[in-house]
Structure 1
Amino acid sequence: MPVTPYEITSRTETGWSPEPARAVGRLGPPVPGVERIAVLRGGGLGDLVFALPAMHALRETYPDAEMVLYGPAWQRELLASRPGPVDRTVTLPPVKGVHDPGPDVRGDPLTLRRFFAATRAERFDLGVQLHGGGRWSNPFLQRFGVRCAVGARTPDAAPLDRWLPFSYYQHEVLRMLEIVGLVGAAPTVLQPWLSVTEQDLTEADEALRGLPRPLLVVHPSAGDTRRWWPAAHFARVAAVAAQEGAGVAVIGTDADAAPAAEVVRECLAMLPVGRHGAVRSLVGRLSMSGLVGVLARATAVLANDSGPRHVAQAVGTPTVSVYWCGNVINAGPFGRGEHRVHISWTTRCPECGVACTDPTGPRCPHDVSFVADVDPVAVSADVLELLGDGGPSAPRGTG
């Protein structure tokens, strides 16, 4: 019989023992005899970063178990030679609601049958669903044949052996720590952190060669276009930083080419020709390792709520970020000393006026920016302050 959220903590003579100093929520009993752990975490770069503290907690609780991370192919590139809690990664096949690589990539039944046969052959003792409310991911994980499955669930999702009710407005780091707490994994770190390797820094140094310091790295994109601050605002802040003597590197994948090109073009238009060499586009030029290195070498990072922003924080680089108010709850930094947050309090679509704060309601069809009203002057002031405090760039996030 599945264990409900209220049946996982032993009673004491005075009632339930929530152990508030050790866990996010109630701390459940560890699963006995765990030799292999499967962790399911699809999604984007930021989603993986948010899962890191939960995986560190699992590693501390089950130090001798092999931990296998199931996710997109790029996770292998990012984690293969990097110290961390994961022993190996496995690429997910295309599956609706779990791994959607793109509209032109479709899964097939034969590939799925082979995939699940391979996962069952692993004989996992513990399966950890860190992939949302479970409508698609819970039944997917159950097909692994794990001895004990744990995760969150919405009312319409399949229950796991140990589960928590899914509430959209909860910070992702804390949600995942609360989930692994159900199987006895108390937090060992609260902030996500990612080790920086010599390979990261070597590629970054080559890409950044000749740029002035201090260095501002700009990422003007995000997975959802509604989280995009206008490129003209990014350009204005970048131009002010360059005029003050900083170097500017604009980053992104090939999918980010349009907003990144607009930022570079408008930034250069605001600068005298003699300062044009201080601005460089690295869009499409960095491997995952190089991206980590560039973010670690930065004095400060200016970004939307995006994967590279979260990686920057995980390697110890100060950030200035533009957030929609709802996303601050789910994905905002915990501190404000080195991580400055500028919030748009937009609660209705600027195009049609439909309310946008109810995650269960229908989504309007517009992809217009929900954060365009954030003031570039205030953002620029924080950027200049962090650039001034940064001093010479040094490797961060090691250890």
Structure 2
Amino acid sequence: MSLVRNLKIAAFRGITAIEGRRSVPSARLREVDNFIVFQHATALGTVIHSTPLFSALRHAVPSAHIAAVASGFSLDALRNNPAIDSVIETPSPLKDLKSSIQSIRRQFPFHNSNFVSLFPSGNERTVVTLQALFGGASTRVGFAVEPALFQVPLAFDRTTSQIANNLRIVEALGHTSIHFEPKIFFTEQDTAVVAELLADSGVDLSRPIVVFVTQTSVTQRKSWRPERFHEAAIYLKERYGANIVFVGTASESAAIDQLRSGLPFATSNVAGKTNLSQLTALMSLATVGLTLDTGPLHIGRAAGLPMVVIAPAWSPPIEWLPVDNERYRILKNADMPSASPDYIIDEVSVAEVLSALDDLLSSYAAERLQPSALRVLRET
């Protein structure tokens, strides 16, 4: 171990020793009912997979006051969550540590009460810990890149899911945790925006709405061939009269339009036209989804949308995908340690995808096309 590293560890241990008088002893963590959760993750899936922590914490400690410190898209993912009492917006400490510290000190909710600071997976960065430390958060529990700065540090367990890892925080506090699915909450105004957007896109509300997620980063090597998406879309249109609605980011819109141009009927492209909560509202009103393993998949899961997931051979499903959940069909037909530069998910066939879509539509179409959902859209 280097001299610099040894000096850092000594300094960190000195800080925690000084804080000792203000920290809650490990043996008494179970008695605490004030929590502040730091969420500055840079990946959308990471933020969404932290939302079960709030539900599980509320379930374990019904009287708890739960605050969240967040920046960026984390704010949209957490803002309307009923398990959270307050969301404290700060600049990202990854970009402006000083301002983020000043911001949290102005808004800090627990100056005169015992509380515990929690760090879900994806926030194990020294600057996030420093925001908490200098912002006034002394007792720290969760995932840490510098364990010496934590009273109860956790290390990520690669043999289980992101959700299960985050729920270990509840257990570290001395409580029993139960599984919750990810959840993003949206408002009536979000539903109104979606209703107008779908109407302007020519969506027939009396027919199934199938969300297509066809784009992902080229560096992730998680793509499926456009002609296969074409075959799936044509099948859904001919058999079910389905509306095909493509979603994604604004930067993906041109590629989506290029894919859509190969189809012999009209489809809708809402890529870049919704924010996070609006896209969740849209997916909550869709019937099924066909998706790659990428960000909008996690939004669909948070909306409870039944989906067929085309999974890459090189990525273990356990960490990110909804394994053993009857609302999802995960199609993964090969295993490899890594992906070659030209890898495409050719091992998943169109026939398998269509069979899985038929299965979901037979199981969930009646639920998803319930009159109340359609009435919300028509009356908004």
* Whole-angstrom distance in 1 between the partners of 2:97 and 2:44: 27
Partner of 2:276: 288
Partner of 1:300: 288
Partner of 1:333: 322
Partner of 1:215: 209
* Whole-angstrom distance in 2 between the partners of 1:171 and 1:45: 16
Match of 1:236 among 227, 231, 249: 231
Partner of 1:147: 138
Match of 1:132 among 116, 122, 132: 122
Q: Secondary structure at the match of 1:326?
A: coil
Counterparts in 2 of 1:262 and 1:95: CA distance versus 1, 3 Å: farther
Partner of 1:9: none
Quote how far apart the aligned CAs of 1:130 are.
Answer: 0.5
* Residues 4-46 of structure 1: per-residue CA shift (max 9 Å, x gap): xxxxxxxxxxxxxxxxxxxxxxx98634344342333523332
Letter of the 2:177 counterpart: P
Normalising by structure 1, what TM-score?
0.73
* Whole-angstrom distance in 2 between the partners of 1:250 and 1:111: 38
Runs of 4+ in 1 over 6 A off after TM superposition: none
* Whole-angstrom distance in 1 between the partners of 2:87 and 2:256: 31
Partner of 1:166: 156
Normalising by structure 2, what TM-score?
0.76
* Whole-angstrom distance in 1 between the partners of 2:97 and 2:195: 45
Counterparts in 2 of 1:32 and 1:222: CA distance versus 1, 3 Å: farther
Partner of 2:22: none
Partner of 2:6: none
* Whole-angstrom distance in 2 between the partners of 1:337 and 1:173: 17
Work out the number of aligned pairs and report it: 337
Q: Which residues in structure 2 correspond to 1:289-368 (within 5 Å)?
A: 289-324=277-312, 325-343=314-332, 344-351=334-341
Partner of 1:378: 352
* Whole-angstrom distance in 1 between the partners of 2:91 and 2:123: 20
Partner of 2:84: 86
8 Å contact from structure 1 (residues 53, 173) kept in 2: yes
Q: 1:393 aligned to 2:369? A: yes
Counterparts in 2 of 1:239 and 1:88: CA distance versus 1, 3 Å: farther
Q: Secondary structure at the match of 1:163?
A: strand
* Residues 36-75 of structure 1: per-residue CA shift (max 9 Å, x gap): 4233352333222211221112223343443222233333
Quote how far apart the aligned CAs of 1:183 are.
Answer: 0.8
Give the percent of matched residue pairs that are identical in Structure 1 and Structure 2: 20
8 Å contact from structure 1 (residues 231, 259) kept in 2: no
8 Å contact from structure 1 (residues 40, 141) kept in 2: no
* Bigger fraction of residues in helix: 2
Partner of 1:15: none
Structural RMSD (CA):
3.2
Q: Which 5+ residue runs of structure 1 have no aligned equivalent? A: 3-26, 97-106, 352-367
Letter of the 1:218 counterpart: F
8 Å contact from structure 1 (residues 196, 315) kept in 2: no
Q: Secondary structure at the match of 2:29?
A: coil
* Whole-angstrom distance in 1 between the partners of 2:158 and 2:270: 34
Q: Secondary structure at the match of 2:41?
A: coil
Q: Which 5+ residue runs of structure 2 have no aligned equivalent? A: 1-12, 17-25, 374-380
Q: Secondary structure at the match of 2:49?
A: helix
Quote how far apart the aligned CAs of 1:229 are.
Answer: 1.8
Letter of the 2:258 counterpart: E
* Whole-angstrom distance in 1 between the partners of 2:335 and 2:118: 34
8 Å contact from structure 1 (residues 39, 67) kept in 2: no
